[in-house]
Amino acid sequence: MTGRDSEVRDDEDAEGVDGRVAGLEEQVGKLASLVADLAGKGGSPAGPAPSPSVWRQRAFNPLEVSDPARRLDAWERLYAFVELVNATFGAQRTEAGTAPLYVRAGWWDSPLAVMHLAALCEAWAEASFTDGEPLAGGHDMLWLLLERAVPVLELVCGRSEEATRWSQQHRPTWSLEPPSLLARRERTRRASFEVFLAQDAPVPARTAFACRMEAELNPPDRLAGLASAEEEWEPAEEEWPPAEEEL
């Protein structure tokens, strides 16, 4: 390759770079214009309607729920969570064949057991699910397992030194079947729970606080203001995000 050929190629490369830079600058200019438009309009041109900030009861503890449908849902949710607990923590078997963290049938009859299991269920759900970044709150479950799960289950099931002896060093066994000493009663576990649900009814002493707090946090004038704001909101007609060809 001669010196002149090299100079020609360098000129062509420079022209290519200049063209790409010019294209990028044009795109940046369009994006800057869109951002300026958004800033002037206070947000995205076509986002969802603002949701009213109504205070709502977190229905994890069924004892505090007065609405029949929501109360039934809370009981079924908690029952499913306890089954999960028994299939993990409760699956541990000691050398003597006992299950120190197995939640026995009838837990629903104990208001303290229900309250503690519901609180654990709520914390578990919060640590397990996210509506945004997949790793957001990723350490919550680790904290829950190390600091909360076993202490709560020991309050419900009874304290036992065997509860923490589940490592490979201790060589425990595992079973999804109920402990042998409880097998007869556990066979009717679900049927007993359904009998309980058929007779269950809210107790005013346990639901009055939640009802009062919902009323105090959502006074009529506040609810009216939220409803008015939602009615006045009108989405813009612009397309967002803009089509690729506009960029």
What is the pLDDT at residue 145? 93
Q: Where are the domains of the chain?
A: 3-45+224-246, 62-209
Residues of the chain predicted below pLDDT 50: 8, 43-46, 247
pTM above 0.85, yes or no: no
Predicted pLDDT of residue 91: 96
Look at residue 43 in the predicted model and tell me its pLDDT: 47
Kindly state the tokens that stand for 184: 């007869």
Give the three-state DSSP class for 96.
coil
For residues 59 and 73, give the distance between their C-alpha atoms in angstroms, rounded to a whole number: 9
CA distances for 127 relative to 46, 134, 139, angstroms: 32, 11, 8
pLDDT at 169: 84
pLDDT (0 to 100) of residue 58: 84
Which 3-state string (H, E, C) describes 168-212?
A: CCCCCEECCCCCHHHHHHHCCHHHHHHHHHHHCCCCHHHHHHHHH
3-class secondary-structure state, position 95: coil
Per-residue pLDDT, 105: 97
